[in-house]
Structure 1
Amino acid sequence: MRDSILTERQKTVLQCRKMGMTQQQIAEMLQTNKSNISLIEKSALKNVRMAKDVLEFVYSMDAIHVCVLKRGTDINHAPQTLYEAVQPLGIKIQYDIGALVTQIRIAVPEKLRDATVRSDIHIYLNETGILYIG
């Protein structure tokens, strides 16, 4: 039985890709072919997306859906949008402007292109002011 959503091979491929290695370089290192590495990477990314969906669901169970950062939004406008959305709720966000932008960039890098939101980002907030971003 696996203790992780990702196999060791998937973890290795994702780590190598993060370091900038090409699929061909990884294939040579792991003594396989580029096609196999492509399949491993695709499967790993699918597993990561599914895990993110589950986490978003779990986090949203104890949080209030505050706002959606719509496609095309400049990420630097996100803090103002968020502060305006939570003001009526009387909950203080536990992050300053810079930390908010950083949290969004870390949580959903695949939904950003440079400073632009490329697919809607849902933001949740619990009663202690902790954000969940999906």
Structure 2
Amino acid sequence: MTDKILNLTLNKLDSLESETKAIRKDLQTETKSIQNELSIEIGTVKNEMKEMRNEFQSEIKFLHIEMSEMRSGISEIKQSVYRLEESQPKDINALFKNNSINVESYNHQIGVLNKRLFQTESHIEELFKSYK
């Protein structure tokens, strides 16, 4: 009877051992499958990250170009403003000089007209005196 129990126990152990081996094999297969899936997912994520990094670098280069163009535009504007500020006093002085010449010319013309008016008034007064 002990031999029978021992044989039954050994048979049970053998069956447990083969079940354990089957489970271990299934676990190994499942683990490899999960590892493969994870490797694929990691590869996909890496590729997406590379694409995003490339896009980001392109955008940064574009922004640098735009910034450079803006700086040169601002520099041109500053130079134009500086030229205007430099020439403005000269332009104002030229206008004042021109106006001064015009005023002098008009003053001379007014003086001539005043003389003629005075002469005409004098002549009219003489006519009135002689007519009375």
- The normalised TM-score by structure 1 is 0.25
Judging by fraction of residues, say which structure has more helix: 2
Judging by fraction of residues, say which structure has more strand: 1
